[in-house]
Structure 1
Amino acid sequence: MSYPYIKAAKEPFDAIVVGSGVTGGWAAKELTEKGLKTLMVERGQAVEHRKDYIGEGVKAWEMPQRGLLEANTIDTEFYIQKKCYAFNAATQQFFGNDREYPYQQEKPFDWIRGNALGGKSLLWHRQSYRLSEMDFSANAKDGHGADWPIRYKDLEGWYSYVEKHVGISGSKENLAVLPDSEFLPAFEFNQVEKSVKARIEKHYKDRKMIMGRCAHLSKPSAEHLAQGRGQCMARNECQKGCSFGAYFSTQSSTLPAAMKTGHLKIATDSVVHSVIYDDKQNRVTGVRVIDSETLEVREYYAKVVFLCASTLGTTQIMLNSKSEAFPTGLANSSGALGHYLMDHIYGVGATAQVEGFHDSYYKGRRPTGIYIPRFRNVAKQEMDYVRGYAFAGSAQRDSWQTLANSGLYGKSLKDKIRAAGDWSFYLGGQGEMLPHYDNHVRLHETKVDKWGVPQLVMSCEHRSNEKKMIADMGESAAEILQAAGLKNVQAHVNPRPPGLAIHEVGTARMGADPETSVLNGFNQSHDIPNLFVTDGSSFASSACQNPSLTFMALTARACDYAAQQLAAGKL
């Protein structure tokens, strides 16, 4: 199926979707399936499923320069992106170029950006968890941040809706803190993980170790096969692109669905400069874009606009869409736009050695690990900080790479390489960050990028609550591994600056009060009825779960609402 690319467009569309990642793909699917003629606008290059996965299945030693990028290229063009786990020679074409997309760090912030059709849906780690009732009510309960205008029951059915299409592998656990999804079979624990799981759950009544829930087709349903997707082969090379379509991405799932309707057009290499606003009608009428290659300015028009350009990408567009009615940014009568930036606490955990199990190994390269759901401040407020964290991790045997500094050589090195290494176990924490007004982004007064778009200034840091959580997270990770009887337990408390968890949320938050929030409970602008924002910028709090599944559910729900409102003549 050929992709329906366009440049100029004479006729207006029913809907414009800015961005093509997890939320943009879902918005395009839902709106086109409801009969709306839709334009998807993507600032990056075209990437076609299967055809453009140039590194897929290619061994490192078969890549140019054996998979190594030139140091000069990394240091001058990808000096931020290189910090991402998914960045390498086979994937760098999917990432934003830091030299071309500069931003200012008033306080350290690592902004990881996709720059291709499919966005970060090509690069994400695919961990998929629902938020719980506790998460949606946390702001109201402890007074940090604006109350979410929705609760779990409002999103429960939409979670199920998107999960059936996406395909989430996992196990039913009946945990209030982590609601179950519509599951495909879970991936299996290895023998060490089974042993550690039993020891942890015997020692702790409030901690359970489960298999990580991920957007992989462990056993495709008829719906998935109809999408042209196949079973996960456990190659764990997902970020290179997956021709099987075994993990969820825009290319493998939502984009083909939208294309089947015949209602979709795609404009790639189109940098959205701003949203066009008509103050007489109090409606957005389209978007103004700059061709990333020719710098030609184009405008596209539509009845409704969905901003799905990522948390900070969307906020940058809104801040730059100024008018007499909105001098500080589009739909910003509340003054909340750009504020309450959050990202998960990342870089804290523990490692340990596991004795024995030398006759055990694992089959394949499972694309997920173990997960210990949140256990802090659940039944009651027990700590000197609010909210909580979860752990991810895995058990693995040391590989030949660990011998690089062993001091061995000759026959002894060869013999050691041929033997499987010892077992180790890792836990890495992911903690909630509170919404704080001073954690924000804004436009730089003079500095712009190559397209003339003002650069973002990042000002975000961990505050008292996060610092207390970080300390406890390291201690409890080590305590859990010690309780499981593991040896040489070492805590690692090296929290990364915000950004590198790549779960940034909150800068155009939802809320019931138009004076303190940008969006209502349907991700609709309080100020402008035909403007919707469904990416992470809409979050009122971060919870501690990976956010992408909630992005999808919110987007599907907002599209349903927008289509109804449009049909009723209210937009």
Structure 2
Amino acid sequence: MSTQDKLPDTFDAIVVGSGISGGYAAMELCKKGYKTLILERGRDVKHIEDYDTANDDTWDLPYNGRVPKEEIKKHYFKQDRLNWWVNQDNKAFVNKDDEYPYDEIERFDWIRGHHLGGRSIMWGRHCYRWSDIDFEANKKEGVAIDWPIRYADIEPWYDQVETFVGVSGQAEGLKQVPDGKFLKPFELNCAEQDFREKVNAQYPERVVTPGRIANLSEYDPEVHLGTRGQCQTRNRCWRGCPFGAYFSSQSATLPVARETGNLTVRPFSIAAEVLYDDATQRATGIRVIDANSGEEHIFKAKIIFCNASTVGTTALLLNSRSRRFPNGLGNDSGELGHNLMDHHYGMGAGAEFPGFEDTYYQGRKANGFYIPRFRNIDEGTKREDYLRGFGYQGNISRGRSIPDEKIGADLKEDIFKPGPYTVSVACFGEMLPYHENRMFLNFEKHDQHGMPIITFDAKLRDNEMKLREDGVQCAVEMLEAAGCKNIWTYNDLTAPGACIHEMGTARMGNDPETSVLNKWNQIHAVPNVFVTDGSCMTSSGTQNPSITYMALTARAVDYADKQMKAGVL
């Protein structure tokens, strides 16, 4: 919908952002009868139609899929620090660093895309529930503040969200990652199954299980609403899936929201400020800058959901200054922008996995294996040198092993012969919520739209360093237990942001003096503003967080609806 379209200026609800949590918020609000406006700062992306590389083979892409160094240096110079992220097949969904500047006191790898659907198009799709081990950790360890909720508060919402999303996985009965409403798993291949059994024989607490992912291993049209279909195991997910086989805003939540007739989407709309009324002590709407024309518009609503991602939402709130909130909307505690977290990775191990030379596998499944956290989950697994834990994502596959000296017919013949199985075990660690790790706005420096520049000042600290060392060592132990050969390790320190699981900065809590949001994801002092993206998180856990964001979102919309009907909001 362009800026020339005649939009009403008043809606029942406004959702800022259209990604994982924003799409879910809009769907739930629309289903409950609320005329809902989504504000998306980037372009429209139409399902299937705008997935330009979805059916391309590598040889169809320019430069065999790689982006030339000159283009990287000009447009993706910060994101290139990850080495793997920007490619020809996904760069249409990746922001250009020169067009979206930010500053760093400590390095922060901010990976994002401004378009309808946000990172729901490119996400890794791993879905793991949190448990009370996570929700109780801060209180038990005296770290930061206590979560205002426990697993029982969110369990029914996990059930609801997983059923709609479609999460394939295998029940394991583990207390640290509770089982959910699973579709049949994408099974481990023969080598991965052998790895599971050998690791379990020596380390029973280390469970190698199929990754739990939001890809439809089986499809039920009565449950998986939207424009969904069964996964074709092409493993081209971050290009956008024309089959709707993985969960995204485009394939799932937005189509359902549109069917209600209650959804309006406005792309190229930069949410600049949440407007606040001193008299009613409520937010009244959003001031929007049109990204194309620079014109300002004001849209009003009774309820506002902020889902612009951790950094985007907090930047919006920090920029929403008034006489009542001179340091940002709802920032009575002074915690807005602080406690910035991410998972950290760049450590792990790999090896040659012997045997199974007479086997192969069919298709390119969109997952490998997952090894849930096994450190610091009870007294028997407690470490004295660091807090919290880590999990692993990995796979075992066959590539090709071609001697360098081969040429001509010998080379051509060997190209079609698979090499040995190799195993990769990548460690993902928890990051503690440090008040010192923060983001803030530089009001003396502005971007092309007149918005203050975001500055990051966050880093890994001693606890994370010790955790990383143990994570690498445990990976080696498992590879040795499986009889692997030629084991190699790595521990390449990553910056916050690189794992693309940034969270914190507007944390939930029971006390308004130490937190921004209450247990219902409401801003303590502005009850008609809800924040349900990653910024609400009070600690980071080890699990990929998106399914938790969606569960919190569904829960918050249900609460907001009840409060509206009761006349409280």
Length-normalised TM-score, structure 1: 0.96
Question: Which of 437, 441, 444 is matched with 1:443 structurally?
Answer: 441
Residue 296 (structure 1) aligned with residue 295 (structure 2): yes
SS at match of 1:123: coil
CA distance in 2: counterparts of 1:313 and 1:566, whole angstroms: 27
What corresponds to 1:487 in structure 2? Answer: 485
The one-letter amino acid paired with 1:383 is E
CA distance in 1: counterparts of 2:544 and 2:455, whole angstroms: 25
What corresponds to 1:119 in structure 2? Answer: 118
What corresponds to 2:49 in structure 1? Answer: 51
Within 5 A, what are the aligned runs for 1:2-13? 7=5, 9-13=7-11
Cα 1:420/1:141, change in 2 over 3 Å: same
What corresponds to 1:183 in structure 2? Answer: 182
1:234–1:364: 8 Å Cα contact kept in structure 2? yes
SS at match of 2:564: helix
1:9–1:300: 8 Å Cα contact kept in structure 2? no
Deviation track 1:310-359 (CA, whole Å, cap 9, x = no partner) reads 00010111111111111111110000000000110211100011122111
Cα 1:292/1:563, change in 2 over 3 Å: same
| Cα RMSD for the two superposed structures | 1.6
2:121–2:238: 8 Å Cα contact kept in structure 1? yes
Within 5 A, what are the aligned runs for 1:145-156? 145-156=144-155
What corresponds to 2:285 in structure 1? Answer: 286
Q: Which moved more, 1:95-104 or 1:134-143?
A: 95-104
Question: Which of 5, 29, 37 is matched with 2:27 structurally?
Answer: 29
SS at match of 2:222: helix
Within 5 A, what are the aligned runs for 1:397-408? 397-399=398-400, 403=402, 406-408=404-406
Deviation track 1:91-141 (CA, whole Å, cap 9, x = no partner) reads 212122211111101001100012110000000010000001110111111
2:225–2:256: 8 Å Cα contact kept in structure 1? no
What corresponds to 2:218 in structure 1? Answer: 219
Within 5 A, what are the aligned runs for 1:294-443? 294-380=293-379, 381-399=382-400, 403=402, 406-443=404-441
CA distance in 2: counterparts of 1:445 and 1:32, whole angstroms: 36
Question: Which of 552, 555, 559 is matched with 1:554 structurally?
Answer: 552
What corresponds to 1:162 in structure 2? Answer: 161
The one-letter amino acid paired with 2:554 is A
What corresponds to 2:241 in structure 1? Answer: 242
Q: Give the ranges of 4+ consecutive aligned residues of structure 1 lying more than 6 Å apart after TM superposition.
A: 3-6
What corresponds to 2:535 in structure 1? Answer: 537
| TM-superposed deviation, 1:532 | 0.5
| TM-superposed deviation, 1:290 | 1.1
Cα 1:5/1:148, change in 2 over 3 Å: farther
For structure 1, which runs of at least 5 residues remain unmatched after alignment? none
Residue 476 (structure 1) aligned with residue 477 (structure 2): no
What corresponds to 2:16 in structure 1? Answer: 18
1:5–1:266: 8 Å Cα contact kept in structure 2? no
SS at match of 1:153: helix
The one-letter amino acid paired with 2:35 is K
CA distance in 1: counterparts of 2:239 and 2:221, whole angstroms: 26
The one-letter amino acid paired with 1:486 is C
| TM-superposed deviation, 1:293 | 1.4
SS at match of 1:325: coil
SS at match of 1:529: strand
SS at match of 2:522: coil
Cα 1:84/1:21, change in 2 over 3 Å: farther
Deviation track 1:468-491 (CA, whole Å, cap 9, x = no partner) reads 101111111111111211111112
1:81–1:96: 8 Å Cα contact kept in structure 2? no
Cα 1:333/1:183, change in 2 over 3 Å: same
The one-letter amino acid paired with 1:455 is I
SS at match of 2:15: strand
| TM-superposed deviation, 1:64 | 4.2
Cα 1:453/1:86, change in 2 over 3 Å: same
The one-letter amino acid paired with 2:540 is S
The one-letter amino acid paired with 1:436 is Y
| TM-superposed deviation, 1:86 | 5.0
| TM-superposed deviation, 1:8 | 5.1
| TM-superposed deviation, 1:36 | 0.4
Question: Which of 510, 521, 526 is matched with 2:524 structurally?
Answer: 526
The one-letter amino acid paired with 2:390 is Y
Cα 1:269/1:203, change in 2 over 3 Å: same
SS at match of 2:455: strand
CA distance in 1: counterparts of 2:207 and 2:141, whole angstroms: 26
| TM-superposed deviation, 1:68 | 3.8
SS at match of 2:136: helix
2:3–2:290: 8 Å Cα contact kept in structure 1? no
Residue 171 (structure 1) aligned with residue 196 (structure 2): no
SS at match of 1:44: coil
What corresponds to 2:504 in structure 1? Answer: 506
CA distance in 1: counterparts of 2:185 and 2:3, whole angstroms: 38
SS at match of 2:344: coil
Within 5 A, what are the aligned runs for 1:82-93? 82=80, 83=82, 85=84, 87-93=86-92
2:394–2:423: 8 Å Cα contact kept in structure 1? yes
1:160–1:181: 8 Å Cα contact kept in structure 2? yes
Deviation track 1:515-557 (CA, whole Å, cap 9, x = no partner) reads 0000000100001010100000000000000000000000000
The one-letter amino acid paired with 2:51 is Y
1:20–1:118: 8 Å Cα contact kept in structure 2? yes
SS at match of 1:265: strand
SS at match of 2:538: coil
Length-normalised TM-score, structure 2: 0.97
| TM-superposed deviation, 1:72 | 2.5
Residue correspondences, number: 566
1:86–1:239: 8 Å Cα contact kept in structure 2? no
| TM-superposed deviation, 1:65 | 4.8
CA distance in 2: counterparts of 1:289 and 1:351, whole angstroms: 49
| TM-superposed deviation, 1:30 | 0.3
CA distance in 2: counterparts of 1:221 and 1:88, whole angstroms: 33
1:15–1:304: 8 Å Cα contact kept in structure 2? yes
| TM-superposed deviation, 1:421 | 1.1
The one-letter amino acid paired with 2:511 is D
| TM-superposed deviation, 1:379 | 1.8
CA distance in 2: counterparts of 1:498 and 1:295, whole angstroms: 32
The one-letter amino acid paired with 1:276 is L
The one-letter amino acid paired with 1:398 is G
The one-letter amino acid paired with 1:377 is N
1:340–1:507: 8 Å Cα contact kept in structure 2? yes
SS at match of 2:146: coil
Percent of matched pairs sharing the same residue: 47
Cα 1:10/1:84, change in 2 over 3 Å: farther
Deviation track 1:396-430 (CA, whole Å, cap 9, x = no partner) reads 1124xx65x93432233223212111111111111
SS at match of 1:27: helix
The one-letter amino acid paired with 1:460 is A
| TM-superposed deviation, 1:79 | 2.1
Q: Which moved more, 1:542-551 or 1:52-61?
A: 52-61
